[in-house]
Amino acid sequence: MQQQLILERGGQTVFGALTAQPADALLALIGAFRSDARPDKIDVGVGVYRDLDGRTPVLRAVKQAERRLVDGQPSKGYLGPEGDVGYFDALKPIIFGAYDYDDRLSGLQTPGGTGALRVAAELIARARPGARIWVGNPTWPNHPPVMKSAGLVVAGYDQFDVAAQQLTFERMFSALSEAGPGDVALLHGCCHNPTGADLNAEQWTAIATLLRDRGVLPLIDLAYQGLGAGLEEDALGTRITLDIVGEGLVAYSCDKNFGLYRERVGALYALSQSAEQSHIVQSNLLSLTRANWSMPPDHGAAIVRVILEDAALSADWRTELAEMRDRIQQIRDLLAQADPLLAPLAKQRGMFSTLPLSVADVARLREAHGIYMPSSGRINLAGLTPDTVEPFIDALASLR
């Protein structure tokens, strides 16, 4: 009877109207790597930090903070749609340094950097339905879908020449010169994913001045602070931009710099032109998140708060962060020294670079050498160790 009804209704039911979507290419790659039996296989595809043993460790400071939470957390009652305010406030000096715009800065805790980007996009769409957002080419592959899902129109600016391994700053600047009042520009705060190519202070100043002059709102994605050149250095672009433009959004993630990936720890900060405007922005953020995830998950943000409120735990976290950063830089330096074509990698920052490889090259590396990366040629430097640099270089050389 039930089956009969279903058949009669055919494609008219809700599910019947759906079409299959392509599987996430990176997840498929992880599956293929797992089922590869070769003992010397190398995974430079996955997007998380790995130590010398190939593990994504739980940081010491995180474990300590978790112990304190288990022993001392008084309640699991609701916190509210803004999440953990102590966490949100404790991050401010790390991100903004000695800032003086407290009454113009609003925002809330979000589920990861992705949640921050999503609520930022929804805020923009609510303010200006169908607003245009300028996104770099290339960029993190999830940027365009997140923006489009909220109803924004995505435009592109060329950011990097993969063959030349160079930032295409002039092209970026001239594309953004086409942006107008009410548009938004999405910028990577540091450790550009997927190219590792960051703007220098002079370039940040030029872009920020352009955005201010053209009435364009910056949305800065700061997902890797501390994994590039250092916590302060990695915040430079964000600070320059907000100082010059005087308003903007910062989508922040603690998932990488605290190694909390699965805990989904993020925040969205909004700098407005006045305290009154900031109040209105905050009320909109609260209503948007209330209708979405209602309240963010607590555990990861509580861990970050416990660490940042304790001098000893904070110092230990900074040490561990520096170790991760140094390990990534060591691999960058080894690759750059081993092959002149990879020399630019030493000056790039963060976990990712994109190599000038064709789709056929990437397939050949996988089939002949057990080296796994997405077809874009993006590699995660933390997928290599000093011991695997040589076979990796040899495999690349065999393509030429």
Ligand X SMILES: Cc1ncc(COP(=O)(O)O)c(C=O)c1O
Catalytic annotation, residues: 140, 221, 256
Q: Considering beta carbons, is residue 254 or 396 the nearer one to ligand X?
A: 254
Q: Taking every pair of C-alpha atoms in the chain, what is the biggest distance, in angstroms?
A: 71
Q: Where are the alpha helices (DSSP H) in the chain?
A: 2-9, 25-34, 60-72, 85-96, 112-127, 143-149, 169-176, 201-214, 231-245, 275-290, 299-308, 311-338, 359-369, 386-397
Which of 47, 83, 374, 383 contacts ligand X by CB under 6 A?
47
The interface with ligand X within residues 174-193 (CB under 6 A) comprises 188, 193
CA dihedral 381, 383, 386, 392 (to 10 degrees): -90
The interface with ligand X within residues 314-343 (CB under 6 A) comprises none
Q: Considering beta carbons, is residue 113 or 138 the nearer one to ligand X?
A: 113
Question: Is residue 114 part of the contact set for ligand X (CB under 6 A)?
Answer: yes
Which of 147, 207, 208, 223 contacts ligand X by CB under 6 A?
223
What single-letter DSSP state applies at residue 164? T
Which of 45, 138, 226, 266 contacts ligand X by CB under 6 A?
266
Cβ 169 to ligand X, closest distance in Å?
Answer: 19
Q: Considering beta carbons, is residue 173 or 261 the nearer one to ligand X?
A: 261
Cβ 172 to ligand X, closest distance in Å?
Answer: 16
**Which of 103, 148, 106 lies closest to 130 in space, CA to CA?**
148
Question: Is residue 253 part of the contact set for ligand X (CB under 6 A)?
Answer: yes
Q: Considering beta carbons, is residue 27 or 360 the nearer one to ligand X?
A: 27
Q: Considering beta carbons, is residue 162 or 223 the nearer one to ligand X?
A: 223
Q: Considering beta carbons, is residue 277 or 376 the nearer one to ligand X?
A: 376
| Spatial separation of the C-alpha atoms in residues 140 and 249, rounded to whole Å | 18
Question: Is residue 226 part of the contact set for ligand X (CB under 6 A)?
Answer: no
Q: What are phi and psi of 135, to 5 degrees?
A: -125, 140
Q: Tokens 């006045």 map to which residue?
A: 274
Residues that contact ligand X, how many (by CB under 6 A): 12
Peptide bond into 138 cis (omega under 30): yes
Question: Is residue 198 part of the contact set for ligand X (CB under 6 A)?
Answer: no
Q: What are phi and psi of 250, to 5 degrees?
A: -125, 115
Q: Tokens 């460790």 map to which residue?
A: 57
Cβ 150 to ligand X, closest distance in Å?
Answer: 15
Backbone region of residue 338 per phi and psi (left: phi > 0; alpha: psi in -120 to 50; beta: other values)? alpha
**Which of 371, 346, 347 lies closest to 357 in space, CA to CA?**
371
Question: Is residue 225 part of the contact set for ligand X (CB under 6 A)?
Answer: no
**What are the angstrom distances between the C-alpha of 100 and each of 175, 251, 351, 361?**
32, 20, 32, 51
Which of 88, 140, 204, 372 contacts ligand X by CB under 6 A?
140
Question: Is residue 221 part of the contact set for ligand X (CB under 6 A)?
Answer: yes
Question: Is residue 113 part of the contact set for ligand X (CB under 6 A)?
Answer: yes
Cβ 203 to ligand X, closest distance in Å?
Answer: 18
Question: Is residue 259 part of the contact set for ligand X (CB under 6 A)?
Answer: no
Question: Is residue 44 part of the contact set for ligand X (CB under 6 A)?
Answer: no
Backbone region of residue 22 per phi and psi (left: phi > 0; alpha: psi in -120 to 50; beta: other values)? beta
Cα 164 to the center of its chain, rounded Å: 24
Cβ 291 to ligand X, closest distance in Å?
Answer: 20
What is the DSSP code string of 372-393? E--TT-EEEGGG--HHHHHHHH
CB 179 within 8 A of CB 132: yes
Question: Is residue 218 part of the contact set for ligand X (CB under 6 A)?
Answer: no
Which range touches ligand X (CB under 6 A), out of 108-116, 126-134, 164-172, 328-336?
108-116
Which of 45, 81, 112, 226 contacts ligand X by CB under 6 A?
112
Cβ 80 to ligand X, closest distance in Å?
Answer: 21
Question: Is residue 350 part of the contact set for ligand X (CB under 6 A)?
Answer: no
Q: Considering beta carbons, is residue 351 or 396 the nearer one to ligand X?
A: 351
Q: Considering beta carbons, is residue 45 or 266 the nearer one to ligand X?
A: 266
Buried b (16+ CB within 10 A) or exposed e, 72-108: eeeeeeebebbbbebbbebbeebbbeeeebeebbbbb
Question: Is residue 263 part of the contact set for ligand X (CB under 6 A)?
Answer: no
160-161 and 166-167 strand pairing: antiparallel
Cβ 91 to ligand X, closest distance in Å?
Answer: 13
Question: Is residue 297 part of the contact set for ligand X (CB under 6 A)?
Answer: no
Q: Is 22 exposed, middle or buried (0-12, 13-18, 19+ CB in 10 A)?
A: exposed
Binding site for ligand X (CB under 6 A): 47, 112-114, 140, 188, 193, 221, 223, 253, 255, 266
